[in-house]
Amino acid sequence: MKSTMILLFLVVSIMRGQNLIPEVEALLEKMTLEEKIGQLNLLTPGGGIATGSVVSKNVETKIKTGKVGGIFGVSGPDRVRIAQEFAVNNTRLKIPLLIGADVIHGYKTTYPIPLGLSCSWDMDLIEQAAQMAAKEATADGINWNFSPMVDIARDPRWGRIAEGAGEDPYLGAKVAEAMVKGYQQNDLSASNTMLACVKHLALYGAPEAGRDYHTVDMGKVKMFNQYLPPYKAAIDAGVASVMTSFNDIDGVPASGNKWLLTELLRNRWGFNGLVISDYTSVNEMIAHGLGDLQAVSALSLKAGLHMDMVGEGFLTTLRKSVKEDKVTEAEITHACRKVLEAKYKSGLFEDPFRYLDTDRPKKDILTAENRALARKLAAHSFVLLKNHDNILPIKKDAKLALVGPLADSRNNMLGTWAPTGDPNLAVTILEGFKNVASGARITYAKGANISDDPEFAKKINVFGPRISIDKRSSEELLQEALAVAKTSNVVVAVVGEATEMSGEAASRTDISIPDSQKKLIRELVATGKPVVLVLMSGRPLTIPEEFDLPVAILQVWHPGVEAGNAIADVVFGDYNPSGKLTTTWPRNMGQIPIYHSVKNTGRPAPKDKFEKFKSNYLDVDNTPLISFGYGLSYTTFEYSNLTLNKKNIMQGESVDITVTVENTGNYDGEEIVQLYLRDLVRTITPPIRQLKGFKKVFLKKGERRTVNLELTPDDLKFYNGSLEFVSEPGEFEVFVGTDSNASLKKSFVLK
């Protein structure tokens, strides 16, 4: 009779579109309420990969008593096997554990921070990067990755801008899709793929004042058009899980927000996977003012949250809430089902130890092939911001002064949120220069501290030494660097941020280069020698002074384990830089937030002049210092012959676009051709222009090519005031060029 009821339930559920898994449903029938609640508990035992301030207690006992559904912060086949054996050998139903980790930009073979990686605009490379990370992480026993982070960020004061793909929803959606495909591939049960987890749903990248974990205030039209597309792209790409954010949305924290987790995520977007909280975010709803632990845990479960990370509110309160009719067992069963389905899709029920081959780490981790890819990824992420007098590339037999606090700083190469990486394995810039340009005469001097402030250094050095304040005085460091510079033909100064000056809980109100380094830069330029600034950071910086100097500036972000080799590849011309910015760089802090897809006002300011009673500043121009999409090359490109295949189209039709691009310089190189669209008249105010396409092309010097782009029907659509995804008849303008200031323009009309 019982099996008949299960079969009937499955048939009804499938008819309702739930696509239930028979093996999971059979297991649920056997489970007690306590066993179901146990599956909703995600813990970290500590002592491994540090990603937060709270460490779970008595994890081994809790696993053995069926009170844990998954763990994170543990790696290595032997260690993971011990934890997995606790679950499958000691619990009544032998349910295996999910093993998670934050693999943000590579596992052991770290590559550039996500913001840097996005500047490659190369979706194939980005997918390869994620695929490599999955291969390495699964070799170490991990089957679930808390990545990609796809939060749109337009305030560079926010430290976690380093973890995302920048400011643009179109590009961000493409990156989200590529990352999910890379991690998951076509078979989640394969031993070299892992469950991806898109985060942080939602709007985490728009905190007030740029301060991490802070409140977010945003209307739904802006939300749907500008901030939600990358999350939806990850859902459409089949991402297995979703992580909630710390902030509130319309006054309700994300982990307990039913509109977000049920109405939007499930009902509107059709997501049918696992939803987990961020680190103790359920408990933090108490501080938000929504009640005690029992109240916020019940609120979260009913909202659509399935798994509680570290906080243990589900574990300790849900049984009581069932007794008091604050939640139902059916709601707990639904959440448990999603946890079990994730384990089933990972192949853990078939073989709990499928990711625990002790031969794999030495075969799959930090291989020569992986390091070569990391080096390539890094070189493709660099953005040439300025090249005064074509200082770059430098000849490999140059007499070169390499200076700066980051030039020989192994601990600052990996970047923020690289908890699985080993800084000791990183290649410094000094080492990379010697590797690539063995014929160069290189002398090194530190020149300055990253910061001279010991209190600031303490805040940065939580995860190890990132800012080391030299025993020598600042003046001694400076004079040593100047002496080295004066005996050289060219100076390369490696300056910027330490790795933990960006990232989680690393918001800054001043995002300029620290004063200790600014002085070094000024003095180096005053020597009259050609100066290259290799700028390292996890965010856009305010560099108006440095940008005005007669220097070359190569933005390298934090490049990862192959940092020094990749930087040398570009500086010495083995690779022609092709990266383009995915964030707008402000002139000063007062312009923030500033981004390319801004809307017009009723009183737009005229270009290049101040006019009273118009939308401008008294003290600075409206335009950014450096625009979105910007990036130079050692060669030059010219655009011409922009054509559209139609001047008038009907609803549902596409527009084919062609443009001629010619390499007019002296080097072979890659160009990222960018397509922007303006909707001139519509029922809600449109942005001045929006990115709607791009293509990366390689051209030999002197080569000319016709590049094809396309505007699809969806590219013309937007979410209107009723949150309907529509396109409206009217005139559109198309812009194609090398950055968001593209000037080639054509028009068409949608009937």
Kindly list the catalytic residues.
278
CA–CA separation, 697 and 578 (whole Å): 10
In the chain, helix, strand, coil percent, each to 5? 35, 20, 45
Q: How far is CA 79 from the centre of its chain?
A: 29
Could you tell me the CA-to-CA distances from 370 to 188, 206, 539, 720 in Å, in that order? 22, 34, 26, 45
Amino acid found at 522: R
Contacts of 279 by beta carbon, 8 Å cutoff, 6+ apart? 51, 52, 54, 309, 310
Give start and end residues of each alpha helix (H) in 604-717: none
CA–CA separation, 481 and 488 (whole Å): 11
Q: What is the DSSP string of 112-143?
A: --HHHHHTT--HHHHHHHHHHHHHHHHHTT--
Sort strands 690-699 and 669-679 into parallel, antiparallel or unpaired.
antiparallel
Q: Are 479 and 473 in contact (CB under 8 A)?
A: no
CA–CA separation, 240 and 245 (whole Å): 17
Could you tell me the CA-to-CA distances from 287 to 213, 283, 290, 309 in Å, in that order? 12, 8, 8, 17
Sort strands 248-249 and 252-253 into parallel, antiparallel or unpaired.
antiparallel
Which neighbouring-strand residues pair with 241? 197, 274
Query: Quick one: tokens of 296?
Result: 């916020």
Sort strands 274-276 and 241-244 into parallel, antiparallel or unpaired.
parallel
Maximum distance among all Cα pairs of the chain, rounded to whole angstroms: 91
In residues, how long is the chain?
Answer: 751
Contacts of 512 by beta carbon, 8 Å cutoff, 6+ apart? 518, 541, 542, 543
Give Rg (Cα) of the chain.
27
Q: What is the distance in angstroms between the CA of the first residue and the CA of the last residue of the chain?
A: 61
Sort strands 531-536 and 490-496 into parallel, antiparallel or unpaired.
parallel
Q: Are 459 and 498 in contact (CB under 8 A)?
A: no
Q: How far is CA 436 from the centre of its chain?
A: 30
Contacts of 750 by beta carbon, 8 Å cutoff, 6+ apart? 649, 650, 651, 716, 727, 728, 729, 730, 731, 732
Query: Quick one: tokens of 150?
Result: 């796809």
Q: What is the DSSP string of 378-425?
A: HHHH-EEEEEGGG-PSPPTT-EEEEESTTTT-GGGSS-SS-TTS-GGG
Nearest to 336 by CA among 69, 86, 72: 69
Q: Are 165 and 176 in contact (CB under 8 A)?
A: yes
CA–CA separation, 451 and 435 (whole Å): 29
Query: Quick one: tokens of 738?
Result: 């090398």
CA–CA separation, 6 and 169 (whole Å): 44
Cβ count near 388 (within 10 Å): 14
DSSP state, residue 585: B
506 sits in which H/E element: none
- Which residue is associated with the tokens 């812009």? 735
Angle between helices 123-139 and 169-184 (to 10 degrees): 40
